[in-house]
Structure 1
Amino acid sequence: MGAFVVVALSRGLFGTGERVGLGLSAGLGLYMVAAGAASFALLRTYPHATLGLCNIVTLARLVIVATLVGALLSNPGPSWAVFSLAAIGLVLDGVDGWLARKQNLTSSFGARFDVEVDAAFALVLTLHALVGGTAGFAVLFLGLPYYLFRGASLVAPWLSHPLPERFSRKAMCVVQIAVLIAIQLPFVASGLLDPVVVAVAVALAWSFARDILWLWRKNS
Protein backbone atom coordinates (compact mmCIF):
# COMPACT_ATOMS: atom_id res chain seq x y z
CA MET A 1 0.00 0.00 0.00
CA GLY A 2 2.76 2.42 0.94
CA ALA A 3 4.51 1.90 -2.39
CA PHE A 4 1.32 2.85 -4.27
CA VAL A 5 1.06 6.04 -2.19
CA VAL A 6 4.67 6.94 -3.05
CA VAL A 7 3.85 6.55 -6.74
CA ALA A 8 0.61 8.55 -6.46
CA LEU A 9 2.24 11.40 -4.54
CA SER A 10 5.22 11.55 -6.87
CA ARG A 11 3.09 11.58 -10.02
CA GLY A 12 0.58 14.02 -8.58
CA LEU A 13 3.07 16.53 -7.17
CA PHE A 14 6.05 16.27 -9.50
CA GLY A 15 4.51 15.15 -12.81
CA THR A 16 6.05 12.70 -15.25
CA GLY A 17 9.18 12.50 -17.35
CA GLU A 18 12.52 10.71 -17.35
CA ARG A 19 13.93 12.52 -14.34
CA VAL A 20 10.74 12.06 -12.36
CA GLY A 21 10.80 8.37 -13.25
CA LEU A 22 14.38 8.07 -12.02
CA GLY A 23 13.53 9.82 -8.79
CA LEU A 24 10.45 7.69 -8.33
CA SER A 25 12.50 4.52 -8.76
CA ALA A 26 14.96 5.71 -6.11
CA GLY A 27 12.18 6.68 -3.74
CA LEU A 28 10.42 3.35 -4.19
CA GLY A 29 13.68 1.49 -3.66
CA LEU A 30 14.30 3.33 -0.41
CA TYR A 31 10.76 2.68 0.77
CA MET A 32 10.88 -1.05 -0.01
CA VAL A 33 14.23 -1.53 1.74
CA ALA A 34 13.26 0.53 4.79
CA ALA A 35 9.80 -1.03 5.08
CA GLY A 36 11.34 -4.50 4.73
CA ALA A 37 13.87 -3.80 7.48
CA ALA A 38 11.10 -2.41 9.71
CA SER A 39 8.96 -5.51 9.09
CA PHE A 40 11.86 -7.78 10.03
CA ALA A 41 12.44 -5.83 13.26
CA LEU A 42 8.70 -5.82 13.95
CA LEU A 43 8.49 -9.61 13.78
CA ARG A 44 11.52 -10.02 16.01
CA THR A 45 10.97 -7.41 18.72
CA TYR A 46 7.44 -6.00 18.72
CA PRO A 47 5.71 -7.06 21.97
CA HIS A 48 2.08 -6.25 21.13
CA ALA A 49 -0.57 -8.23 19.27
CA THR A 50 -1.74 -5.25 17.19
CA LEU A 51 0.29 -2.88 15.05
CA GLY A 52 -1.65 0.20 16.14
CA LEU A 53 -2.22 3.55 14.49
CA CYS A 54 1.06 4.82 15.96
CA ASN A 55 3.23 2.61 13.74
CA ILE A 56 0.98 3.20 10.74
CA VAL A 57 1.56 6.95 11.17
CA THR A 58 5.32 6.38 11.33
CA LEU A 59 5.03 4.30 8.16
CA ALA A 60 3.15 7.20 6.55
CA ARG A 61 6.08 9.44 7.46
CA LEU A 62 8.39 6.95 5.75
CA VAL A 63 6.22 7.28 2.63
CA ILE A 64 6.75 11.05 2.76
CA VAL A 65 10.51 10.62 3.12
CA ALA A 66 10.60 8.24 0.15
CA THR A 67 8.60 10.70 -1.95
CA LEU A 68 10.99 13.51 -1.00
CA VAL A 69 13.92 11.33 -2.09
CA GLY A 70 12.30 11.03 -5.49
CA ALA A 71 11.78 14.79 -5.63
CA LEU A 72 15.45 15.32 -4.76
CA LEU A 73 16.51 13.53 -7.93
CA SER A 74 13.80 14.90 -10.19
CA ASN A 75 12.91 18.39 -8.89
CA PRO A 76 15.66 19.61 -6.53
CA GLY A 77 15.34 22.99 -4.92
CA PRO A 78 12.69 24.85 -2.93
CA SER A 79 9.05 24.30 -3.89
CA TRP A 80 5.63 24.43 -2.31
CA ALA A 81 5.20 20.71 -2.94
CA VAL A 82 8.34 19.81 -0.98
CA PHE A 83 7.51 22.29 1.77
CA SER A 84 3.94 21.00 2.12
CA LEU A 85 4.96 17.34 2.24
CA ALA A 86 7.68 18.09 4.78
CA ALA A 87 5.31 20.13 6.95
CA ILE A 88 2.83 17.25 7.01
CA GLY A 89 5.69 14.94 8.00
CA LEU A 90 6.60 17.21 10.92
CA VAL A 91 2.99 17.34 12.15
CA LEU A 92 2.73 13.55 11.98
CA ASP A 93 5.94 13.29 13.99
CA GLY A 94 4.02 14.63 16.96
CA VAL A 95 1.16 12.20 16.43
CA ASP A 96 2.74 8.74 16.40
CA GLY A 97 4.25 8.95 19.88
CA TRP A 98 1.02 10.35 21.31
CA LEU A 99 -0.98 7.53 19.73
CA ALA A 100 1.41 4.92 21.09
CA ARG A 101 0.92 6.23 24.62
CA LYS A 102 -2.83 6.66 24.12
CA GLN A 103 -3.27 3.09 22.87
CA ASN A 104 -0.75 1.66 25.34
CA LEU A 105 1.37 0.39 22.45
CA THR A 106 4.74 1.92 23.30
CA SER A 107 7.71 -0.29 22.41
CA SER A 108 11.43 -0.18 21.72
CA PHE A 109 10.59 -1.06 18.11
CA GLY A 110 8.28 1.94 17.73
CA ALA A 111 10.81 4.28 19.33
CA ARG A 112 13.62 3.05 17.06
CA PHE A 113 11.40 3.18 13.96
CA ASP A 114 10.49 6.77 14.81
CA VAL A 115 14.12 7.82 15.32
CA GLU A 116 15.28 6.21 12.07
CA VAL A 117 12.53 7.93 10.06
CA ASP A 118 13.36 11.25 11.75
CA ALA A 119 17.02 10.88 10.82
CA ALA A 120 16.24 10.03 7.20
CA PHE A 121 13.77 12.93 7.06
CA ALA A 122 16.43 15.38 8.26
CA LEU A 123 19.05 14.06 5.85
CA VAL A 124 16.75 14.25 2.81
CA LEU A 125 15.68 17.81 3.64
CA THR A 126 19.34 18.72 4.15
CA LEU A 127 20.20 17.42 0.69
CA HIS A 128 17.25 19.33 -0.80
CA ALA A 129 18.60 22.55 0.70
CA LEU A 130 22.17 21.85 -0.39
CA VAL A 131 21.41 20.68 -3.94
CA GLY A 132 18.84 23.43 -4.41
CA GLY A 133 21.34 26.07 -3.33
CA THR A 134 19.15 27.52 -0.59
CA ALA A 135 21.70 26.87 2.16
CA GLY A 136 25.46 26.57 2.46
CA PHE A 137 27.49 23.56 3.50
CA ALA A 138 26.76 24.30 7.17
CA VAL A 139 23.37 22.70 6.59
CA LEU A 140 25.11 19.31 6.45
CA PHE A 141 25.54 19.60 10.22
CA LEU A 142 21.76 19.35 10.51
CA GLY A 143 21.50 16.17 8.48
CA LEU A 144 24.59 14.14 9.31
CA PRO A 145 25.09 14.08 13.14
CA TYR A 146 22.85 11.06 13.77
CA TYR A 147 24.61 8.99 11.12
CA LEU A 148 28.03 10.06 12.38
CA PHE A 149 26.91 9.03 15.86
CA ARG A 150 25.72 5.65 14.59
CA GLY A 151 28.97 5.17 12.68
CA ALA A 152 30.99 5.96 15.80
CA SER A 153 29.00 3.35 17.74
CA LEU A 154 30.45 0.67 15.47
CA VAL A 155 33.90 1.58 16.80
CA ALA A 156 32.74 2.33 20.35
CA PRO A 157 29.80 -0.01 21.08
CA TRP A 158 29.01 1.77 24.36
CA LEU A 159 27.57 4.59 22.27
CA SER A 160 24.68 2.29 21.31
CA HIS A 161 23.54 1.82 24.91
CA PRO A 162 20.12 3.24 25.90
CA LEU A 163 19.88 6.92 26.73
CA PRO A 164 17.60 8.49 29.34
CA GLU A 165 14.47 10.24 28.13
CA ARG A 166 15.04 13.97 27.70
CA PHE A 167 12.48 16.52 26.55
CA SER A 168 15.31 18.77 25.33
CA ARG A 169 16.46 16.07 22.88
CA LYS A 170 12.98 15.80 21.38
CA ALA A 171 12.62 19.59 21.24
CA MET A 172 15.98 19.84 19.48
CA CYS A 173 14.79 17.37 16.85
CA VAL A 174 11.66 19.44 16.22
CA VAL A 175 13.68 22.66 15.86
CA GLN A 176 16.15 20.90 13.54
CA ILE A 177 13.38 19.65 11.24
CA ALA A 178 11.44 22.93 11.40
CA VAL A 179 14.46 24.93 10.21
CA LEU A 180 15.11 22.46 7.41
CA ILE A 181 11.48 22.77 6.33
CA ALA A 182 11.61 26.58 6.42
CA ILE A 183 14.53 26.46 3.98
CA GLN A 184 12.25 24.71 1.48
CA LEU A 185 9.96 27.76 1.16
CA PRO A 186 10.23 29.14 -2.39
CA PHE A 187 10.37 32.77 -1.27
CA VAL A 188 13.27 32.29 1.17
CA ALA A 189 16.36 33.81 -0.44
CA SER A 190 19.45 31.64 -0.82
CA GLY A 191 21.60 31.84 2.31
CA LEU A 192 19.04 33.94 4.21
CA LEU A 193 18.66 31.35 6.96
CA ASP A 194 22.33 30.38 7.13
CA PRO A 195 22.86 32.13 10.51
CA VAL A 196 19.89 30.21 11.91
CA VAL A 197 21.26 26.98 10.42
CA VAL A 198 24.62 27.56 12.13
CA ALA A 199 22.96 28.33 15.47
CA VAL A 200 20.83 25.18 15.33
CA ALA A 201 23.84 23.11 14.22
CA VAL A 202 25.77 24.29 17.28
CA ALA A 203 22.83 23.46 19.55
CA LEU A 204 22.49 20.04 17.92
CA ALA A 205 26.19 19.36 18.42
CA TRP A 206 25.84 20.29 22.08
CA SER A 207 22.88 17.90 22.46
CA PHE A 208 24.87 15.02 20.96
CA ALA A 209 27.94 15.90 23.03
CA ARG A 210 25.88 15.81 26.22
CA ASP A 211 24.52 12.37 25.35
CA ILE A 212 27.99 11.08 24.47
CA LEU A 213 29.36 12.39 27.78
CA TRP A 214 26.51 10.74 29.68
CA LEU A 215 27.14 7.41 27.94
CA TRP A 216 30.89 7.63 28.58
CA ARG A 217 30.36 8.28 32.29
CA LYS A 218 27.73 5.54 32.51
CA ASN A 219 29.93 2.93 30.85
CA SER A 220 33.42 3.91 31.99
Structure 2
Amino acid sequence: MSDAAPAAISAYTPSPELKARAMIALGSVFCAAVICYVPVGLHLSLGLTTIGAASALLLFIFSLVIFGLRHHGFKRFGAANTVTAIRAAIVSLIAAAVLFPATAAEGSLASWAFVGLVLVALALDGVDGYLARRSGCSSALGARFDMEIDALLILCLSVAAYFLGKAGIWVLLIGLMRYGFVLAQVPLPRLRGDLPPSFRRKLVCVVQVAAMCLMLVPGLEPPLSTGIAAIALGLLAWSFAVDSHYLLSAARSGK
Protein backbone atom coordinates (compact mmCIF):
# COMPACT_ATOMS: atom_id res chain seq x y z
CA MET A 1 0.00 0.00 0.00
CA SER A 2 2.41 2.67 1.31
CA ASP A 3 -0.05 5.38 0.34
CA ALA A 4 1.93 8.58 -0.04
CA ALA A 5 1.09 12.24 -0.20
CA PRO A 6 1.68 14.16 -3.40
CA ALA A 7 4.86 16.16 -3.73
CA ALA A 8 5.05 18.26 -0.60
CA ILE A 9 4.61 22.01 -0.95
CA SER A 10 6.94 24.40 0.78
CA ALA A 11 5.99 25.14 4.35
CA TYR A 12 4.58 28.61 4.96
CA THR A 13 2.98 30.52 7.79
CA PRO A 14 -0.76 29.82 7.73
CA SER A 15 -2.98 32.87 7.77
CA PRO A 16 -5.12 33.74 10.81
CA GLU A 17 -8.16 33.18 8.58
CA LEU A 18 -7.10 29.61 7.79
CA LYS A 19 -6.36 28.90 11.45
CA ALA A 20 -9.76 30.24 12.47
CA ARG A 21 -11.60 28.19 9.84
CA ALA A 22 -9.68 25.04 10.78
CA MET A 23 -10.38 25.57 14.47
CA ILE A 24 -14.10 26.05 13.79
CA ALA A 25 -14.33 22.95 11.58
CA LEU A 26 -12.29 20.69 13.85
CA GLY A 27 -13.87 22.10 17.00
CA SER A 28 -17.36 21.44 15.64
CA VAL A 29 -16.47 17.87 14.69
CA PHE A 30 -14.86 17.29 18.09
CA CYS A 31 -17.88 18.55 20.03
CA ALA A 32 -20.29 16.55 17.87
CA ALA A 33 -18.12 13.44 18.26
CA VAL A 34 -17.98 13.66 22.06
CA ILE A 35 -21.75 14.16 22.18
CA CYS A 36 -22.21 11.05 20.02
CA TYR A 37 -19.61 9.01 21.93
CA VAL A 38 -21.65 9.09 25.13
CA PRO A 39 -24.89 7.42 23.93
CA VAL A 40 -22.99 5.02 21.65
CA GLY A 41 -20.62 4.10 24.47
CA LEU A 42 -23.44 3.58 26.94
CA HIS A 43 -25.47 1.52 24.46
CA LEU A 44 -22.51 -0.77 23.79
CA SER A 45 -21.30 -0.76 27.41
CA LEU A 46 -17.91 0.63 26.38
CA GLY A 47 -17.46 2.48 29.65
CA LEU A 48 -16.28 5.98 30.47
CA THR A 49 -12.62 4.98 30.07
CA THR A 50 -13.17 4.10 26.42
CA ILE A 51 -15.16 7.28 25.79
CA GLY A 52 -12.45 9.38 27.44
CA ALA A 53 -9.69 7.63 25.50
CA ALA A 54 -11.52 8.19 22.19
CA SER A 55 -11.95 11.88 22.99
CA ALA A 56 -8.30 12.28 24.00
CA LEU A 57 -7.06 10.52 20.85
CA LEU A 58 -9.27 12.67 18.63
CA LEU A 59 -8.04 15.83 20.34
CA PHE A 60 -4.43 14.72 19.78
CA ILE A 61 -5.07 14.02 16.10
CA PHE A 62 -6.72 17.40 15.58
CA SER A 63 -3.82 19.12 17.36
CA LEU A 64 -1.45 17.56 14.83
CA VAL A 65 -3.66 18.79 11.99
CA ILE A 66 -3.56 22.35 13.33
CA PHE A 67 0.22 22.10 13.61
CA GLY A 68 0.37 20.86 10.01
CA LEU A 69 -1.59 23.77 8.52
CA ARG A 70 1.71 25.20 7.28
CA HIS A 71 1.58 22.47 4.64
CA HIS A 72 -1.98 23.20 3.51
CA GLY A 73 -1.38 26.06 1.08
CA PHE A 74 -5.00 27.28 0.85
CA LYS A 75 -7.03 29.94 2.65
CA ARG A 76 -9.92 27.50 3.12
CA PHE A 77 -9.67 24.47 5.37
CA GLY A 78 -11.87 22.61 2.91
CA ALA A 79 -14.83 20.27 3.03
CA ALA A 80 -12.56 17.31 2.23
CA ASN A 81 -10.52 17.83 5.40
CA THR A 82 -13.74 18.19 7.40
CA VAL A 83 -14.93 14.80 6.10
CA THR A 84 -11.55 13.30 7.00
CA ALA A 85 -11.99 14.80 10.47
CA ILE A 86 -15.33 12.98 10.78
CA ARG A 87 -13.55 9.77 9.77
CA ALA A 88 -10.93 10.51 12.43
CA ALA A 89 -13.71 10.75 15.03
CA ILE A 90 -15.07 7.33 14.02
CA VAL A 91 -11.62 5.73 13.95
CA SER A 92 -10.77 7.22 17.37
CA LEU A 93 -13.77 5.46 18.90
CA ILE A 94 -12.81 2.21 17.16
CA ALA A 95 -9.23 2.54 18.44
CA ALA A 96 -10.39 3.19 22.00
CA ALA A 97 -12.71 0.16 21.91
CA VAL A 98 -9.81 -2.00 20.70
CA LEU A 99 -7.44 -0.67 23.37
CA PHE A 100 -9.94 -1.39 26.15
CA PRO A 101 -11.58 -4.66 25.06
CA ALA A 102 -12.30 -5.70 28.64
CA THR A 103 -14.86 -2.90 28.99
CA ALA A 104 -16.55 -3.53 25.66
CA ALA A 105 -19.90 -5.22 25.42
CA GLU A 106 -19.88 -8.91 24.66
CA GLY A 107 -21.87 -10.58 21.94
CA SER A 108 -22.91 -9.98 18.38
CA LEU A 109 -24.45 -6.55 19.06
CA ALA A 110 -21.08 -4.95 19.77
CA SER A 111 -19.44 -6.84 16.91
CA TRP A 112 -22.02 -5.71 14.37
CA ALA A 113 -21.86 -2.14 15.69
CA PHE A 114 -18.08 -2.26 15.31
CA VAL A 115 -18.44 -3.48 11.72
CA GLY A 116 -21.00 -0.77 11.04
CA LEU A 117 -18.64 1.97 12.22
CA VAL A 118 -15.87 0.59 10.01
CA LEU A 119 -18.18 0.55 6.98
CA VAL A 120 -19.15 4.18 7.55
CA ALA A 121 -15.48 5.16 7.82
CA LEU A 122 -14.73 3.19 4.65
CA ALA A 123 -17.59 4.88 2.75
CA LEU A 124 -16.39 8.34 3.78
CA ASP A 125 -12.87 7.46 2.61
CA GLY A 126 -13.93 8.00 -0.99
CA VAL A 127 -15.89 11.16 -0.23
CA ASP A 128 -13.00 13.27 1.06
CA GLY A 129 -10.82 12.51 -1.96
CA TYR A 130 -13.65 13.36 -4.34
CA LEU A 131 -14.32 16.67 -2.57
CA ALA A 132 -10.62 17.59 -2.61
CA ARG A 133 -10.35 16.98 -6.35
CA ARG A 134 -13.61 18.74 -7.17
CA SER A 135 -12.77 21.84 -5.13
CA GLY A 136 -9.16 21.98 -6.34
CA CYS A 137 -7.96 22.00 -2.73
CA SER A 138 -5.76 18.90 -2.77
CA SER A 139 -2.83 19.52 -0.44
CA ALA A 140 0.03 17.70 1.22
CA LEU A 141 -1.72 18.13 4.57
CA GLY A 142 -5.01 16.69 3.31
CA ALA A 143 -3.33 13.71 1.68
CA ARG A 144 -1.27 12.97 4.80
CA PHE A 145 -4.29 13.42 7.08
CA ASP A 146 -6.29 10.95 4.99
CA MET A 147 -3.40 8.48 4.77
CA GLU A 148 -2.69 8.41 8.50
CA ILE A 149 -6.35 7.87 9.37
CA ASP A 150 -6.39 4.92 6.95
CA ALA A 151 -3.24 3.53 8.56
CA LEU A 152 -4.66 3.90 12.08
CA LEU A 153 -7.91 2.19 11.09
CA ILE A 154 -6.08 -0.77 9.55
CA LEU A 155 -3.88 -1.08 12.64
CA CYS A 156 -6.95 -1.11 14.90
CA LEU A 157 -8.67 -3.73 12.77
CA SER A 158 -5.62 -5.99 12.76
CA VAL A 159 -5.36 -5.76 16.55
CA ALA A 160 -9.08 -6.51 16.89
CA ALA A 161 -8.73 -9.52 14.57
CA TYR A 162 -5.94 -10.89 16.77
CA PHE A 163 -7.82 -10.31 20.02
CA LEU A 164 -10.90 -12.06 18.61
CA GLY A 165 -8.85 -15.07 17.51
CA LYS A 166 -9.56 -14.55 13.81
CA ALA A 167 -5.87 -15.10 12.93
CA GLY A 168 -2.50 -15.55 14.58
CA ILE A 169 -0.30 -12.79 15.90
CA TRP A 170 1.15 -12.38 12.41
CA VAL A 171 -2.06 -10.54 11.44
CA LEU A 172 -0.61 -7.51 13.25
CA LEU A 173 1.83 -7.16 10.34
CA ILE A 174 -1.06 -5.81 8.27
CA GLY A 175 -1.47 -2.87 10.62
CA LEU A 176 2.22 -2.38 11.40
CA MET A 177 3.58 -2.48 7.84
CA ARG A 178 2.88 1.20 7.14
CA TYR A 179 4.70 2.22 10.33
CA GLY A 180 7.54 -0.18 9.55
CA PHE A 181 7.90 1.52 6.17
CA VAL A 182 8.22 4.88 7.92
CA LEU A 183 10.85 3.51 10.32
CA ALA A 184 12.77 2.04 7.38
CA GLN A 185 13.19 5.57 6.05
CA VAL A 186 15.68 6.29 8.85
CA PRO A 187 18.42 3.90 7.62
CA LEU A 188 17.17 4.19 4.01
CA PRO A 189 16.40 7.87 3.37
CA ARG A 190 15.83 7.08 -0.31
CA LEU A 191 12.43 5.71 0.76
CA ARG A 192 11.36 9.26 1.62
CA GLY A 193 10.98 10.13 -2.04
CA ASP A 194 7.67 11.11 -3.64
CA LEU A 195 5.49 8.39 -5.11
CA PRO A 196 3.31 9.09 -8.15
CA PRO A 197 -0.46 8.78 -7.74
CA SER A 198 -1.49 5.13 -7.90
CA PHE A 199 -4.91 3.52 -8.23
CA ARG A 200 -3.28 0.23 -7.20
CA ARG A 201 -2.14 1.74 -3.90
CA LYS A 202 -5.57 3.11 -3.04
CA LEU A 203 -7.29 -0.10 -4.12
CA VAL A 204 -5.05 -2.21 -1.89
CA CYS A 205 -5.85 0.11 1.01
CA VAL A 206 -9.59 -0.35 0.46
CA VAL A 207 -9.11 -4.11 0.14
CA GLN A 208 -7.28 -4.17 3.48
CA VAL A 209 -10.09 -2.39 5.31
CA ALA A 210 -12.78 -4.47 3.59
CA ALA A 211 -10.97 -7.74 4.33
CA MET A 212 -10.37 -6.85 7.96
CA CYS A 213 -13.97 -5.73 8.32
CA LEU A 214 -15.18 -9.04 6.85
CA MET A 215 -13.00 -10.94 9.31
CA LEU A 216 -14.75 -9.24 12.22
CA VAL A 217 -18.22 -10.39 11.15
CA PRO A 218 -19.67 -12.64 13.89
CA GLY A 219 -19.59 -16.31 12.94
CA LEU A 220 -16.71 -16.03 10.49
CA GLU A 221 -13.96 -18.09 12.12
CA PRO A 222 -10.65 -19.80 11.15
CA PRO A 223 -9.61 -21.20 8.80
CA LEU A 224 -11.72 -18.89 6.60
CA SER A 225 -10.84 -15.73 8.51
CA THR A 226 -7.18 -16.79 8.55
CA GLY A 227 -7.23 -17.25 4.79
CA ILE A 228 -8.72 -13.80 4.26
CA ALA A 229 -6.03 -12.26 6.47
CA ALA A 230 -3.28 -14.11 4.59
CA ILE A 231 -4.54 -12.83 1.23
CA ALA A 232 -4.79 -9.27 2.58
CA LEU A 233 -1.26 -9.45 3.99
CA GLY A 234 0.11 -10.81 0.73
CA LEU A 235 -1.45 -7.99 -1.31
CA LEU A 236 -0.17 -5.39 1.14
CA ALA A 237 3.37 -6.78 1.12
CA TRP A 238 3.34 -6.82 -2.69
CA SER A 239 2.19 -3.18 -2.84
CA PHE A 240 4.87 -2.06 -0.41
CA ALA A 241 7.49 -3.99 -2.36
CA VAL A 242 6.45 -2.28 -5.62
CA ASP A 243 6.66 1.19 -4.05
CA SER A 244 9.94 0.46 -2.28
CA HIS A 245 11.51 -0.79 -5.51
CA TYR A 246 10.33 2.34 -7.32
CA LEU A 247 11.76 4.69 -4.71
CA LEU A 248 15.09 2.88 -4.47
CA SER A 249 15.42 2.64 -8.25
CA ALA A 250 14.52 6.32 -8.72
CA ALA A 251 17.14 7.33 -6.15
CA ARG A 252 19.84 5.28 -7.87
CA SER A 253 19.00 6.76 -11.28
CA GLY A 254 18.98 10.27 -9.87
CA LYS A 255 15.33 11.00 -10.70
Do the two structures share a fold, i.e. TM-score over 0.5? yes
Kindly provide the amino acid, as one letter, of the partner of residue 118 in structure 2. A
1:120 matched to 2:152? The reply is: yes
Seen in structure 2, the aligned counterparts of structure 1 residues 144 and 174 have a Cα distance that, compared at 3 Å, is: same
CA distance in 1, matches of 2:124, 2:153: 12
* Other structure's SS at 1:79 match: helix
Contact 1:123 1:142 in 2 (8 A): yes
- Bigger shift: residues 7-16 or 201-210: 7-16
2:52 alignment partner in structure 1? 25
1:75 matched to 2:75? The reply is: no
Equivalent residue in structure 1 for 2:205, among 173, 179, 182: 173
Alignment of 1:19-98 (within 5 A): 20-42=47-69, 44-72=70-98, 73=100, 74-75=103-104, 79-98=111-130
Structure 2 gaps of 5+ residues are 1-27
CA distance in 2, matches of 1:29, 1:158: 35
CA distance in 1, matches of 2:170, 2:134: 38
Structure 1 gaps of 5+ residues are none
Deviation at 1:191, TM superposition (A): 4.6
Kindly provide the amino acid, as one letter, of the partner of residue 40 in structure 1. F
Deviation at 1:134, TM superposition (A): 2.7
CA RMSD across the alignment: 2.0
Deviation at 1:133, TM superposition (A): 2.2
Kindly provide the amino acid, as one letter, of the partner of residue 174 in structure 2. L
1:8 alignment partner in structure 2? 35
Seen in structure 2, the aligned counterparts of structure 1 residues 17 and 55 have a Cα distance that, compared at 3 Å, is: closer
CA distance in 2, matches of 1:187, 1:63: 28
**Number of paired residues?**
219
Q: Percent identity?
A: 33
Kindly provide the amino acid, as one letter, of the partner of residue 154 in structure 1. V
Seen in structure 2, the aligned counterparts of structure 1 residues 68 and 17 have a Cα distance that, compared at 3 Å, is: closer
Deviation at 1:197, TM superposition (A): 0.9
Kindly provide the amino acid, as one letter, of the partner of residue 50 in structure 1. R
1:136 matched to 2:168? The reply is: yes
Which has the higher Rg, Structure 1 or Structure 2? 2
2:22 alignment partner in structure 1? none
Contact 2:45 2:105 in 1 (8 A): no
